[in-house]
Amino acid sequence: MGEVIVVTSGKGGVGKTTTTANLGTGLAQLGYKVALVDADIGLRNLDVVLGLENRIVYDITDVTGGHCRLRQALIKDKRYEGLFLLPAAQTKDKTAVSPDQMKVLCGDLSQEFDYVIIDCPAGIEQGFRNAIAGADKAIVVTTPEVSAVRDADRIIGLLEAAELREPKLIINRVRQKMVAAGDMMNIDDIIDILAIDLLGVVPEDEMVIITTNRGEAVIQDDRSRSGMAFRNIVRRITGEQVPLLNLEEGGLFSKIRRFIGLK
Amino acid sequence: MDDRRRNTGRQMLDEIEGDENTILIRRTLRSGQKFYYNGNVVVMGDVNPGAEVVATGNVIVMGQMRGMVHAGAEGDESATVMAFRLQPTQLRIANHITRPPDGEVADSSAPEIARIKNGVVTIENYPART
Ligand SMILES: Nc1ncnc2c1ncn2[C@@H]1O[C@H](COP(=O)(O)OP(=O)(O)OP(=O)(O)O)[C@@H](O)[C@H]1O
Ligand SMILES: [Mg+2]
């Protein structure tokens, strides 16, 4: 039985899809069988980020609606053997799938894959409810902005209420210079409010945008700092203890007490 | 001797309120979570920004109070708010509404108590430093 992990945030545009694509790619690089599920129905874009848009025949609503078999809808990645995508529907809305259908779907996928990673839509409505319904674990993505952290806090409360205990945190788009100058929330401030375990910190990096536009994941780029951050997160997900990237001399992470894997 | 004991007893009865309900919340209240209680509320955790605690009696937070708090919500002017770190976005007692001054980061480094004194909400260290 594989693990079903939902990547969520509350606030839009903080990096859920980017994270999902990179974690999936990274886990597949390590040889795991991974299914990525785009639960952002009506605004699908995980397929575009992975460069697989032109291969879509069936989507998630065809599977839950019984119009095709799960195997037919899964799209195999161009580069990695073990990586598959279940695309979202573009022309339907979030009510096209129910939480119960998602539970069944995730159960089926976890029979065949080591990791099932679900890209959650922004918001706290039906789309969010669907995305978390079949998950055993949750990753909350935030950026170092007050509004994103506030939404992350709201989401953590909702995850706890849905019995998805101990979600893990990824802080994305951190700009070291701004943090050092006191112009951006630092990691300690964020952890102080959210009080959940930190899975990793990803720096702001233009390579994310460059690789995404090519339909690639930045984790494939050996030299980029964000790629390195995602590789460390992947290793933590597989249960390894990896210290936090020291992104900045001078002890930005001085006070951090907690970082652990997802296991 | 007898008299003194009786006095102590009477004084204690004034200080121990046994007729009110008190509830214990053993977790952090997160953004979007609102807690209302007819009585006193004790939070063993934080009250995060965007969370609300409303009580007809007193509110005690054994952690950081960073959300909205309303004590004496049905008009009890003797109600108090006490927190390990009192940095609320807004604090209300009975029908007094207060907030930290604009541009000032609500900083708090010791336990504090908010209560109405001479008609205004006053915040002091708790216990009072001598
Ligand atoms: N670490 C980063 N550095 C620079 N750009 C980034 C980083 N992470 C994400 N981005 C960019 O931010 C934008 C939003 O990212 P993404 O689509 O992953 O967010 P999302 O949370 O999935 O958004 P939505 O809520 O709309 O689904 C994209 O253009 C992406 O390339
Ligand atoms: Mg997205």
**Chain B residue closest to A154 (CA)?**
B31
**Cβ-count burial of B38 within 10 angstroms (0-12 exposed, 13-18 middle, 19+ buried)?**
middle
d(CA B50, CA B55): 17
Largest separation between any pair of C-alpha atoms in chain A: 57
Residue A155 · residue A140 · CB < 8 Å: yes
In 3D space, the residue among B37, B41, B48 whose CA is nearest the CA of residue B24 turns out to be B41
Q: What is the pLDDT of residue A263?
A: 47
Q: How confident is the model at residue B109 (pLDDT cuts 50, 70, 90)?
A: confident
Whether A101 lines ligand 1, by a CB cut-off of 6 Å, is no
Tokens of B70: 């309303």
Is B32 in the A-facing interface, judged by CB distances under 8 Å?
yes
Q: What is the DSSP string of chain B?
A: -HHHHHHHHHHHHHH---SS-EEEE-SPBPTT-EEEESSEEEESS-B-TT-EEEESS-EEEEEEE-SEEEESTTS-TT--EEEEEE--SEEEETTEEE-PPTT------S-EEEEEETTEEEEEESSPP-
Whether A227 lines ligand 1, by a CB cut-off of 6 Å, is no
d(CA A132, CA A135): 5
* Residues A154, B49: C-beta atoms closer than 8 Å: no
Taking residues B19-40, report their average pLDDT.
93
Taking residues B89-109, report their average pLDDT.
84
d(CA A159, CA A150): 14
Chain A, window 189-248: residues with a beta carbon less than 8 angstroms from a chain B beta carbon: 193, 195
Is A125 in the B-facing interface, judged by CB distances under 8 Å?
no
Q: Which domains does chain B have, with CATH numbers?
A: 3-125 (2.160.20.70)
Taking residues B18-32, report their average pLDDT.
90
Give the residue, by CA position, lying nearest to ligand 1 atom 14: A13
DSSP secondary structure code for residue A263 in this structure: -
**Cβ-count burial of A112 within 10 angstroms (0-12 exposed, 13-18 middle, 19+ buried)?**
middle
- Residue A196 phi/psi, 5° resolution? -130, 165
DSSP secondary structure code for residue A139 in this structure: E
Beta strands (DSSP E) in chain A are 3-8, 34-38, 75-76, 83-86, 115-119, 137-142, 168-174, 197-203
Residue A4, SS3 per DSSP: strand
Chains A, B: CB pairs < 8 Å: 28
ipTM: 0.76
Q: What is the DSSP string of A60-96?
A: HHHHHTTSS-HHHHPEEPSS-TTEEEEPPPSSS-GGG
Tokens of A44: 């699908």
Q: How confident is the model at residue B12 (pLDDT cuts 50, 70, 90)?
A: low
Question: For A216, how many CA atoms within 13 A lie in the half-sphere containing its CB?
Answer: 12
Q: What is the pLDDT of residue B101?
A: 80
Is A156 in the B-facing interface, judged by CB distances under 8 Å?
yes
Residue A162's identity, in one-letter code, is A
Smallest Cα distance from A71 to chain B, Å: 40
Q: Which residues pair with B68 in a beta bridge?
A: B52, B90
Instruction: Give, in order, the Cα–Cα distances in Å from A136 to each of B36, B79, B114.
Output: 31, 43, 42
Residue B25 · residue B44 · CB < 8 Å: yes
CA angle A48, A54, A55 (to 5 degrees): 105
Q: Is the pLDDT of residue B34 over 50?
A: yes
In 3D space, the residue among B13, B12, B8, B20 whose CA is nearest the CA of residue B79 turns out to be B20
Q: At what angle do helices A225-237 and A16-29 cross, to 10 degrees?
A: 70
Residue B88 · residue B65 · CB < 8 Å: yes
- Give the pairing type, strands A168-174 and A75-76: unpaired
Q: What is the pLDDT of residue B1?
A: 43
Smallest Cα distance from B29 to chain A, Å: 8
- Give the pairing type, strands A197-203 and B34-37: unpaired
**Cβ-count burial of A243 within 10 angstroms (0-12 exposed, 13-18 middle, 19+ buried)?**
exposed
A3-259 is a CATH 3.40.50.300 domain: yes
Chain A residues with CB under 8 Å of B49 CB are 150, 153, 193
Taking residues B9-16, report their average pLDDT.
62
**Chain A residue closest to B45 (CA)?**
A195
Q: How do the pLDDT tens digits run along chain A, 263 residues long?
A: 899 999 999 999 999 999 999 999 999 999 999 999 999 988 889 999 999 999 999 999 999 999 999 999 999 999 999 999 999 988 877 788 999 999 999 999 999 999 999 999 999 999 999 999 999 999 999 999 999 999 999 999 999 999 998 999 999 999 988 888 888 898 989 999 999 999 999 999 999 999 999 999 999 999 999 999 999 999 999 998 887 765 533 334 443 434 444 54
Residue A172, SS3 per DSSP: strand
